[in-house]
Amino acid sequence: MEEVTCYIPRTLDEALEILSKDDCTILAGGSDLMVSHKRTIGVDPRFSKSVMIIRNLPEIRKIYTEGGECHIGAASTSSEIAENPLVPWHLRQAASRMGAVALRNSATIAGNIANASPKGDTPGPLYLLDARVKIRSAKESREEPVSDFIVKFREIDLKPGEMITEVVVPLSEDDFDYVFWHKVGTRKANAISKVTVSMALKFEDGGSVVRDFRVSATATGSKTNRSRDVENIIIGKEISEDLIEEVAEAFDGIISPRAMPEFRRETCRRCIRRFLSEAERRRAAGDRRKMIDTYDGYHMPGAPEVR
């Protein structure tokens, strides 16, 4: 069996140069590719085209803020993201609950996005926060919202010669009064999500009218779900029981979970109800604690105990 060429570039320029000549499979952490290409003990994994290993490229492992945005190098690992206080809260939550310690030290953010699995954990927060991917080739550089870049299940908008170099997340944290992130897995470690829900809300200054509300969910269809139309139902209005129900139902209308649909639908509805009603309760009570959890002691049907 002919072995494919494997490149190990030392700089980003070198990597882009290689990509311009040879349409490679880009390997970052390897946590998806090494599983999907594995054969058996002692036998090398088999790839169908050249492979370029970018795991250790220093230029794409940096995390910094600039111009009110957080820039996350494509090969930053989940651990690096979870530990970095510059990274927005929702994304740190998602990164800190991926896999277990060792997985988080390998899994990269670009790998999670490019894998384009609806069960991937970082796209939830990335959709919520209007994040973009920065894409480069030897000649060009472009940016695209993550929600457009992920076209559908296992399909991304990446042309031969291109790679993701950065993920850019607008820092809207201070623009939110209340935030929510919840993952339902089968167990605490190395659990692929059954569903994750990310939400954020901002009231008009000193008022009871909603200025911004956002909700996204993963593992509830062929890609991560978010819809401005659904969010607009409550934006510009005061939170009421009826509106909460309307939002929960409208969100239910945009998701299309295949396996365990009722469980996933019910989880989303309950998370939305919980978040919006608790945000309103806290606002009215002058309670400014930002983080809203799932119900204390409340048990999602069929889900593991929430700590």
Among 12, 24, 73, 79, binds other proteins (CB under 8 A): 79
- Binding range to other proteins, per CB under 8 A, among 96-104, 125-133, 211-219, 238-246: 96-104
Taking alpha carbons only, the member of 184, 200, 207 closest to residue 90 is 200
Q: Is 250 helix (H, G, I), strand (E, B) or coil?
A: helix
Among 56, 186, 232, 240, binds other proteins (CB under 8 A): 56
Q: Under a CB-based contact definition with an 8 Å cutoff, are residues 12 and 60 in contact? A: yes
Q: Quick one: CA torsion of 160, 164, 168, 169, rounded to 10 degrees? A: 100
Query: What part of residues 57-86 is at the interface with ligand FAD (CB under 6 A)?
Result: 74
DSSP 178-225: EEEEEEE-SSSSSPPPSEEEEEEEEEPTTSSBEEEEEEEEESSSSS-E
Among 151, 189, 284, 291, binds other proteins (CB under 8 A): 189
Run of H or E including 242: helix 241-254
CB of 291 to ligand FAD, least distance (A): 21
Query: What part of residues 142-201 is at the interface with ligand FAD (CB under 6 A)?
Result: 158, 163-164, 190, 192
Query: What part of residues 5-34 is at the interface with other proteins (CB under 8 A)?
Result: 5-6, 8, 27, 29-31, 34
- Phi, psi of 288, deg, nearest 5: -100, 10
Is residue 190 close enough to count as binding other proteins by CB under 8 A? Answer: yes
Q: Quick one: CA torsion of 198, 120, 29, 12, rounded to 10 degrees? A: -70
**Per-position x/- string for 105-144, each x denoting binding to other proteins as judged by CB under 8 A, each - no binding:** xx--------------------------------------
Cα separation, 154 vs 135, whole angstroms: 18
Query: What part of residues 17-36 is at the interface with ligand FAD (CB under 6 A)?
Result: 25-33, 35
Token couple for 155: 């399909």
- Binding range to other proteins, per CB under 8 A, among 45-53, 169-177, 259-267, 270-278: 45-53
CB of 258 to other proteins, least distance (A): 23
Q: Under a CB-based contact definition with an 8 Å cutoff, are residues 180 and 197 in contact? A: yes
Is residue 96 close enough to count as binding ligand FAD by CB under 6 A? Answer: no
Where on the chain is the footprint of other proteins (CB under 8 A)? Answer: 3-6, 8, 27, 29-31, 34-35, 38, 40-42, 44-45, 47, 51, 53, 55-56, 79, 99-103, 105-106, 188-190
